[in-house]
Structure 1
Amino acid sequence: MVKRPISDFKRKTAARLRRTNTAAEAILWRHLRRLDVKGSHFRRQVVIGPYVADFACLAQRLITEVDGSQHGEEEGLKRDEVRTRWLQSEGYRVIRFWNNDVMSKTDAVMDAIYNAIAVTPPRSPLASDPPPPGEGEAPRGESH
């Protein structure tokens, strides 16, 4: 990962988004601030690379997005897919919730976030995928 300086534009965009959050974001923020799980300090409207994440727990490499109906349209889905792929390539896990779920099923949303932190912690940045076939251990029945 290459750290790049945060542009003034991104910093101002994040500050504006913090001032003008949606009702669903306000509800989720109230709950995230009280979430009591080791390593669960969340920040809101966080600049990460070219994006501003709704909520991020940097220690757990977890990003929580709260999406409105525009994210269900074809263009929004494509944008979100590109964004998610980039964030994942930087080692983040991304979970998304619809605005109406945050507002009407808050406990279920918080359970999912809790589970993402407490039950499935992030992989260590030093962990690697298993070696491809033919590398690492000798295949069964053969020795080196």
Structure 2
Amino acid sequence: MGFIEQNRDLLPYAKYLRKNMTKQEKHLWYDFLSKHRLKWYRQRIIGSYIVDFYCSKLKLVIEIDGGQHLQKNNLYCDNVRTLALQQEGIYVLRFMNSDVDYHFDYVCNEIEKNINERLEKCMDSISKKSPL
């Protein structure tokens, strides 16, 4: 698990996605992640994938999925993508558009809960490496 090379060919598409975020992505970005205490990136290239949101400090991805992600082929592709990211030590959180639309506080609380858990693991890892 080291540096993950970006597929630079995806850069124009990532820029396009940043400028054309869905309503739900905009809501999560402008009303929560852009103001967060940790640095978040939008439509970030990781390897051969573009993820919706990424915090490199925590190796945490947030994906906001529309209904098309429930189709069998898309579920399979999402699982392959998630496994590839997990092999790089990246954790993936997924929410549906409807979660952001109707349960925004829940989504933010779940994200914050996962952030705190990952921060705690980082601190535990650091304290185990440090001699007393």
- TM (norm. structure 1) is 0.78
Shift of 1:5: 4.9
Which one has a larger percent helix, Structure 1 or Structure 2? 2
| Equivalent position of 2:119 in the other structure | 121
**Any stretches of 5+ residues in structure 1 without a counterpart?**
128-144
Aligned length: 121
Identity level (%): 34
1:72-111 to structure 2, matched below 5 A, reads 72-111=70-109
Q: Please tell me whether the aligned partners of residues 42 and 54 of structure 2 are also in contact (alpha carbons under 8 angstroms).
A: yes
Q: Please tell me whether the aligned partners of residues 17 and 43 of structure 2 are also in contact (alpha carbons under 8 angstroms).
A: yes
After the TM superposition, which parts of structure 1 deviate over 6 Å for at least 4 consecutive aligned residues? none
| Equivalent position of 1:29 in the other structure | 29
The 3 A distance-change label for structure 1 pair 122 and 96 is farther
| Equivalent position of 1:58 in the other structure | 56
RMSD in angstroms over aligned alpha carbons?
Answer: 1.6
Q: Please tell me whether the aligned partners of residues 6 and 45 of structure 2 are also in contact (alpha carbons under 8 angstroms).
A: no
Q: Please tell me whether the aligned partners of residues 61 and 122 of structure 1 are also in contact (alpha carbons under 8 angstroms).
A: no
Q: Can you list the C-alpha shifts for 1:75-113, whole angstroms capped at 9, x where unaligned?
A: 110000000000000010000000011111111000000
| Equivalent position of 1:4 in the other structure | 5
**Any stretches of 5+ residues in structure 2 without a counterpart?**
126-132
Task: Give the whole-Å Cα distance in 1 for the aligned partners of 2:10 and 2:46.
Answer: 9
Task: Give the whole-Å Cα distance in 2 for the aligned partners of 1:69 and 1:107.
Answer: 21
| Larger Rg, first or second structure (1 or 2) | 1
Task: Give the whole-Å Cα distance in 2 for the aligned partners of 1:34 and 1:56.
Answer: 14
